[in-house]
Structure 1
């Protein structure tokens, strides 16, 4: 029976200990800062925030390129001869990374690509679903596993609120007028992943503690979630008291495995410090 290897991009923010424990192969995306190219995962998130504090500019990000994908899949094949690779990729609607993976695998007949139509914890939730299925049934037929993973793609739900709008403004994702209005009224946008795209769906008013609780309760009311896993997302700077508060709400709602995931350099470049999010899978 051929070994099945699960892979994904660093934009999944899958904690390194989980990737190592479950044998998930991760290919890095890129952060460009001060004209230098850094691999996502090798650049401390604090450096990004310090850079913004100094310059009022944010770094840019780039996708994993075709050559890197080709090298990545070849390396996996070298490490695991005769394996079958299932690559669960960052949404094709927010990055060229998935298309690059398609181009890189044209000559491979044992690599299947799945567009997760999600990012960060929403992507990680699908990856961990695949890992769990594979560990429960290691002899599963690759085509059957792919079918099961693809059936969960539209059921992965990601919602988050940024800690502040500075990074969204610096990146041109919110106008100065909208930024000033939101700052004066203490409004924070809720952003959801819908059909692979980041969409502002609601506005919350208040401090980050109140907003995080509102988001958590709204999210749990809106979705019929699998209680076996819940991923709570944060960017560096989120108050520990908020994390404790959210943990308690999750426990009260019957979640068996609650996992906090820190946004990596690539995601933090867009979200900024002090943000909070939630990801899970609907039944």
Structure 2
């Protein structure tokens, strides 16, 4: 008889509570630092706290990788309960976290770490896919292999309202930030080959830019997987969210549109007024 399978994702998966509960996905909170104060994402610090801290101190919170021992405690608990574990983490092109997960899993033959090659709800999309495979009766090893293959078919694109937080975090220059502000430009950041990069710059207000980005992505000739699309955002506003959903419905027959709030790890780099779409393609 095959063992039960636990699907686990780092807290950077940015899935709403309904999806986590519906698909039985566990999350592991990652470290976030408010100055010298060490916190855990989604447990004792939440996204609004980041910007309250920045407003108060003028300093951005920072993220850090967990230790192998931190992961080992979770692995010990779940394998001790008789589970095989599939553990998804943020792209190894962006962080050392997948390497740490692999190190932690060396003494746990029933734990299968998976580098999602993605971020935010891009990883979350794969966690849901993994849970669906679990419910079809696949083993953890089979799920891990299929998720690694499916990661090539996940598309993640974000529009950012301001480059201030990228600048504060050292991810763009002051000249780039000033130029974007003067020209009312909003960059589109996409995940490609596990890396994030600016692929296009849009001009206009957030609602207009989001709709342009959605149109560009959903009509680029790729065959869409109609199962679901996710919108991940922080403080985009109800009007922008409604416009995004309307545009998606006009362009593609997705069976489900899921709305997720971005957690600390993404929001600290992108800032308020960030909105992304995440979906899968076929073929």
TM-score, normalising length: structure 1: 0.94
Counterpart CA distance in 1 for 2:61 and 2:99 is 23
Using the TM superposition, give the Cα deviation of residue 18 of structure 1 relative to its aligned residue in structure 2, in angstroms.
Answer: 2.1
Partner of 1:34: 35
Structure 2, unaligned runs of 5 or more:
none
Using the TM superposition, give the Cα deviation of residue 16 of structure 1 relative to its aligned residue in structure 2, in angstroms.
Answer: 2.9
Counterpart CA distance in 2 for 1:194 and 1:251 is 25
Deviations 1:115-167 (A, max 9, x none): 111010111111111112222x12x2433323322220111110001121111
Q: 1:161 to 1:250 in 2, by over 3 A?
A: same
Using the TM superposition, give the Cα deviation of residue 99 of structure 1 relative to its aligned residue in structure 2, in angstroms.
Answer: 0.7
State whether residues 28 and 64 of structure 1, in contact with CA within 8 Å, keep that contact through their aligned partners in structure 2.
Answer: no
Deviations 1:199-243 (A, max 9, x none): 1111111111111111111110124221111001111x2121111
TM-score, normalising length: structure 2: 0.94
Deviations 1:225-267 (A, max 9, x none): 21111001111x2121111111112222211100011001121
The number of aligned residues is 278
- Pick one of 41, 45, 65 that aligns with 2:47: 45
Structure 1, unaligned runs of 5 or more:
none
Counterpart CA distance in 2 for 1:2 and 1:226 is 30
Runs ≥4 residues deviating over 6 A = none
Partner of 1:64: 66
Counterpart CA distance in 1 for 2:265 and 2:121 is 13
Deviations 1:5-32 (A, max 9, x none): 1111001112233223322121111111
What's the Cα RMSD here?
1.3
| Secondary structure at the counterpart of residue 51 of structure 2 | helix
Deviations 1:164-223 (A, max 9, x none): 111111111111111111100001111011111111111111111111111111110124
Deviations 1:57-78 (A, max 9, x none): 2111012221110011111123
| Secondary structure at the counterpart of residue 59 of structure 2 | coil
State whether residues 56 and 170 of structure 1, in contact with CA within 8 Å, keep that contact through their aligned partners in structure 2.
Answer: no
| Secondary structure at the counterpart of residue 228 of structure 1 | strand
